[in-house]
Amino acid sequence: MCSNLGHKNQAMIDSISRQAQDLAFISPAFTCKVRAEVADKLLEVVPKGLEKFFFATSGTEANEAAFKIARAYTGKYKIISRYRSYHGSTAGTIGATGDLRRWSVEPSGKTEGILFAPDCYCYRCPFGQQYPACGTTCATYLDYMLTHEKNVAAVIVEPIVGTNGILVPTDDYLVKIREITRRHGVLLIADEVMSAWGRTGEWFAVDHWKVVPDILTTAKGVTGAYVPLGVTVTTREIADYFEDHTFSHGHTYEAHPLTLAPALTAIDEYRRLNLIENARELGAHLGRRLNELKERHPSVGDVRGLGLFWAVELVKNRGSKQPFNTMDDKFAGRPLIMDTLTKEMMDRGVYVMGWISHMVLAPPLVVTKDDLELGLKALDEVLAIADKHCS
Ligand SMILES: Cc1ncc(COP(=O)(O)O)c(C=O)c1O
């Protein structure tokens, strides 16, 4: 889900080597040509209204910067996240992570001031309801939370949840939480570390709903993972606050020129190779084919996704939706059926990420229909193994 441009893209390799010859490193206290160029180029693709960038070297750091910006700008400290989420591995970002990776840092991790809102997860709705009759309760509950909480700086969401299930929200969800956060004077942070850069068939997942957050973070596909770059982008209004106030944050490798030059080239390559369109078109094909597999395999409870970003959620029993394994199983290190299945996929030459009860299908955006068919054939065989464990 980060090697969007595939391996051995010559333009990417050349841009790294050119930048190494030109200027490999400069103190982040200075600006440099490539830093200005990359900011200009990013402005062409990020949602309109987001204008100023902070460059780090990972998605985790991009989110840490977002939290610090939100807290300093609002003078408040609470962050609302959601349970089905991953936001990074440092104390702050793991504290704001909803999934089991947070459990091992509690209670010593930086989890104070973090609250969790309900997920927009229709297959297993936390309120046991059905869309659209539900009125998108998962969004309106945020209004209820913000009415009862003081000192909330920001709400952070993955617009389309990644590792925790490729949860594509209902059509009105993000629009609603944008309205609710604005009304309560709370910043909205979109964590697009995984969902950006054409992955879902748009430059950014928020583009599907034309929602502009106050802060957007990204990493991975920004350089097609050729070099480690994390980006935090804010509105001009938030950025201007820091003209007169200290932004107490930074890294030696902040805005490292070697990480910036490939981002310039990556944007050109996404355009030259029509990768966003490819994700849209092949994504629709992938979705159709996965739904066919669902028809044939009782172990498939749900398939969902957008662009080249799909999940296949497995169940022991379709009626009860009982999963094969639980978060507790993973936390305790018990063997998971999913591990067997991803191993079987690997044996057939196809890498997919398994996460407790679902597989994440996120091929490089340079994938072809034939490549997809190869993966689907392996998946068809492997799901037959899962079917045998159904009850
Ligand atoms: C949504 C999301 N946020 C943050 C991160 C952390 O990014 P990194 O691993 O680059 O620190 C990830 C990593 O997978 C992610 O998927």
Residue range 200-211: mean pLDDT, rounded: 98
Interval 341-362: pLDDT, tens: 999 999 999 999 999 999 999 9
Interval 282-338: pLDDT, tens: 999 999 999 999 999 999 999 999 999 999 999 999 999 999 999 999 999 999 999
Those residues whose C-beta lies under 8 Å from the C-beta of residue 379, and which sit 6 or more positions away, are 293, 312, 345, 350, 352, 359
If residue 115 lies in a helix (H) or strand (E), which one and from where to where? strand 114-117
Which class for 150: exposed (0-12), middle (13-18), buried (19 or more C-beta within 10 A)?
exposed
Those residues whose C-beta lies under 8 Å from the C-beta of residue 151, and which sit 6 or more positions away, are 76, 77, 78, 113
Q: Using CA positions, which residue lies closest to atom 7 of ligand 1?
A: 59
Cα 58 to middle of ligand 1, angstroms: 7
How many angstroms separate the CA atoms of 11 and 344, rounded?
Answer: 34
Dihedral class, residue 172 (left if φ above 0, else alpha if ψ from -120 to 50, else beta) = alpha
Residue range 149-153: mean pLDDT, rounded: 98
Question: Could you tell me the CA-to-CA distances from 5 to 193, 205, 207, 270, 359 in Å, in that order?
Answer: 16, 18, 21, 8, 21
Question: Which atom of ligand 1 approaches the CA of 158 most closely?
Answer: 1
Question: Which atom of ligand 1 approaches the CA of 228 most closely?
Answer: 10
Cα 216 to middle of ligand 1, angstroms: 13
pLDDT at 112: 84
Cα 217 to middle of ligand 1, angstroms: 10
Cα 190 to middle of ligand 1, angstroms: 12
SS (H, E, C) 45-109: HCCCCEEEEEEECCHHHHHHHHHHHHHHHHCCCEEEEECCCCCCCCHHHHHCCCCHHHHHHCCCC
Bridge partner residues of 218 (DSSP): 231
Q: Which residue from 158, 194, 197, 309 has its CB within 8 A of the most atoms of ligand 1, so it is best to mutate?
A: 194
Among 274, 262, 364, 280, CA closest to 42: 262
Whether pLDDT at 108 is above 90: no
Whether pLDDT at 80 is above 90: yes
Among 333, 311, 336, 314, CA closest to 325: 336
Give the pLDDT band of residue 101 (cuts 50, 70, 90). very high
Whether pLDDT at 110 is above 90: no
Q: Which residue from 1, 4, 87 has its CB within 8 A of the most atoms of ligand 1, so it is best to mutate?
A: 87
Question: Which atom of ligand 1 approaches the CA of 85 most closely?
Answer: 1
- Provide Rg for the chain, Cα atoms: 21
Question: Which atom of ligand 1 approaches the CA of 163 most closely?
Answer: 16
Could you give the domains of the chain?
10-272 (3.40.640.10), 275-388 (3.90.1150.10)
Per-chain mean pLDDT for the chain = 97
Residue 91 near residue 82 (C-beta atoms within 8 A) = no
Among 383, 384, 335, 328, CA closest to 359: 383
Cα 60 to middle of ligand 1, angstroms: 6
Helix (H, G, I), strand (E, B) or coil at 206: helix
Whether pLDDT at 66 is above 90: yes
Whether pLDDT at 176 is above 90: yes
Give the pLDDT band of residue 107 (cuts 50, 70, 90). confident
Residue 98 near residue 131 (C-beta atoms within 8 A) = no
The binding-site residues of ligand 1, defined as CB within 6 angstroms of any ligand atom, are 58-60, 63, 86-88, 158, 162-163, 191, 193-194, 219
pLDDT at 288: 98
271 token code pair:
């355009």
Residue range 6-10: mean pLDDT, rounded: 97
Interval 219-235: pLDDT, tens: 999 999 999 999 999 99
Percent of the chain with pLDDT over 90: 97
Question: Which atom of ligand 1 approaches the CA of 161 most closely?
Answer: 1
Among 136, 215, 131, CA closest to 175: 136
Q: Using CA positions, which residue lies closest to atom 14 of ligand 1?
A: 194
Which class for 27: exposed (0-12), middle (13-18), buried (19 or more C-beta within 10 A)?
exposed
Give the pLDDT band of residue 109 (cuts 50, 70, 90). low
Cα 194 to middle of ligand 1, angstroms: 7
Which class for 221: exposed (0-12), middle (13-18), buried (19 or more C-beta within 10 A)?
buried
Q: Using CA positions, which residue lies closest to atom 8 of ligand 1?
A: 59
Percent of the chain with pLDDT over 70: 99
